[in-house]
Structures are given as structure tokens and as C-alpha cells.
């Protein structure tokens, strides 16, 4: 686990960026030895506007509660990619949804493209599960918290009737990320 790690989850309203922040904050917070700060920003529209959630984790007290140089950025929309990648660390990871992100910044060293929406439809039949595919991919690519802990947090977050589908979505995200890392 990194001493200090900053993540930005960006997309459009309705894509589950707040859920991603909640899941990772709960997983990291469950470790007990990490300080965490979770912030959220919504666009003016309830659905379709730009939104993001940001998570900072550190093993020391966090003195500034805003992400300044994210180590990891998820871009689920072109607008999110354009707005939220510019202050990334030089060795940061950018994960994009290629269905919605067509212009990829050339200055980012580690860009991963995973068709999270298509994978979600394939394994669950529902495009809304793309955010859980993203959670699995982020957990595998970022390596800042144990995969099993994130998966447990995902399954605890959802009602029992939704757990099997989200279990498949999470695992599919992990597998997609692991294929890219080889």
C-alpha cells in the first residue's frame, strides 16, 4: 500500500462515480491504519452532467483535503478525461472507457483502455454494472488496496439479490485489467 495515494473517479451523472468513491473509501477505511478523505463534485444536471469523486489516502494525517496530483484517474466520459487528467503524477495511471473516450491525452505514460460498459453487458446484461467492472479494474491496476477487501466491500454494499451480478462484474474488471498488465 502506498503511503500517500490520490484517486479521481470522473464521468457523467448516472455512471456511478459517487459509488466508486464510497466503495474505495469503505475498503481503505476498513484497514484501520489509513487516513482517508472523500470529496464529491456534481455538475448542474442530475444525470448527464460532469461529476467526480476523489479519494485521498495516507498513513499520516491528511493536511489538505483536495486531490492535487492524482496517482490514478478513471475517465468514463470524454469530458471527464479532458478535465481531470491534467494534474496527474508523472507515473500516474489513466483508465478510460473507450466507448465514451475517443481523444486520449498523449502526455500520460500509463493509459489503460477497458470497455467496461461492454463487459458489464456481457457478464450481467446491464450497462449500469460498468461501474462495478471499473471497481475491479481499478483495484487490480492501482494496487493500493487488497483485491479481496475491495470485493468484500462491493458485495456488502449491494442487496443480496444484486450480489451475484456484481460479483461477476467485479471479477470481469479484474481479469480485463490483469490481461492488460501482462
- Could you report the per-residue pLDDT of 89-103, keeping only the tens digit for each? 888 999 999 999 999
What would the pLDDT profile of 30-89 be if each residue is shown by its tens digit?
767 789 999 988 766 555 677 899 999 999 999 888 999 999 999 999 999 999 998 998
What is the reported pTM? 0.92
Residue 1: predicted pLDDT: 47
**Average pLDDT score over residue span 138-164:** 93
Question: Cα separation of 22 and 156, whole Å?
Answer: 12
2: confidence class by pLDDT, cuts 50, 70, 90:
low
Domain count, the chain: 1
DSSP secondary-structure letter at 111? Answer: E
CATH number for the domain spanning 35: value is 3.40.920.10
Range of the domain at 164: 4-181
Residue 4: pLDDT over 80: yes
How would you class 42 by CB atoms within 10 Å of its CB: exposed for 0-12, middle for 13-18, buried for 19 or more?
middle
Residue 44: predicted pLDDT: 61
Amino acid at each position: 500500500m502506498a503511503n500517500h495515494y490520490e484517486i479521481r473517479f470522473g464521468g457523467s451523472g448516472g455512471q456511478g462515480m459517487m459509488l466508486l468513491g464510497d466503495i474505495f473509501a469503505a475498503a481503505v477505511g476498513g484497514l484501520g491504519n489509513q487516513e482517508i478523505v472523500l470529496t464529491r463534485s456534481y455538475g448542474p444536471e442530475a444525470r448527464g452532467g460532469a461529476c467526480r469523486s476523489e479519494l485521498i489516502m495516507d498513513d499520516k494525517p491528511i493536511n489538505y483535503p483536495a486531490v492535487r496530483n492524482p496517482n490514478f484517474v478513471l475517465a468514463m466520459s470524454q469530458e471527464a478525461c479532458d478535465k481531470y487528467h491534467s494534474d496527474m503524477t508523472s507515473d500516474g495511471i489513466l483508465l478510460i472507457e473507450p466507448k465514451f473516450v475517443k481523444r486520449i491525452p498523449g502526455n500520460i505514460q500509463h493509459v489503460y483502455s477497458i470497455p467496461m460498459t461492454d463487459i458489464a453487458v456481457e457478464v450481467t446484461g446491464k450497462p449500469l454494472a460498468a461501474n462495478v467492472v471499473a471497481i475491479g479494474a481499478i483495484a487490480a491496476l492501482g494496487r493500493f488496496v487488497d483485491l479481496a477487501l475491495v470485493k468484500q466491500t462491493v458485495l456488502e454494499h449491494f442487496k443480496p439479490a444484486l450480489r451475484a451480478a456484481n460479483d461477476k462484474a467485479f471479477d470481469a474488471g479484474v481479469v480485463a485489467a490483469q490481461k492488460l498488465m501482462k
